[in-house]
Amino acid sequence: MFSFLRRKPKVYSKIENHIFGIITELLKVSSTDINVDELGGKYYLSNEEQHFKVTILSNDYVIRLTNTRDSVAEKYDKVFVEDVLRAVKEEKHRRMELVYDSITNSIEKMAERLHNTLIESNEQENEKVRHLEAKHMADQKVNY
């Protein structure tokens, strides 16, 4: 009934499919660096091992692919560039969550170790106090 309101999935050209594939494969590799200049609307992917860089200029809908021999920059359809950016942002967010989780786990472990150390130190202090009190009581008994 409301099928005319449903958005049809975007059909990419052959070159757009190829570029999207290259970018998603780069994003899967952990050695690919993702840098973002939100204010300038620039997104950079860089993989030094594969000598490959991608620059996405979101304001102009331009994607530049660079390898050791060539550099090609083309203007693409707005929807295509937004889909590419969505994939880049999702991967950047996923990586940030991994780092956040790692930092959180490290802090929790450090807090647990500190807590255990404080408890142990407290127990040692209490034992010293008990020992001194027992010694004091023994000294008092001897004086009588």
For the chain, the domains span: 14-139
Q: What are phi and psi of 22, to 5 degrees?
A: -60, -45
- pTM for the model: 0.66
> For 109-137, what is the mean pLDDT?
82
Q: How far is residue 93's CA from residue 100's CA, in Å, rounded to a whole number?
A: 10
pLDDT digits (tens, 9 = 90+) for 3-17: 555 555 677 889 999
- Contact call for residues 54 and 71 (beta carbons, < 8 A): no
- pLDDT tens digit sequence for 15-60: 999 999 999 999 999 899 999 998 899 999 999 998 999 999 999 9
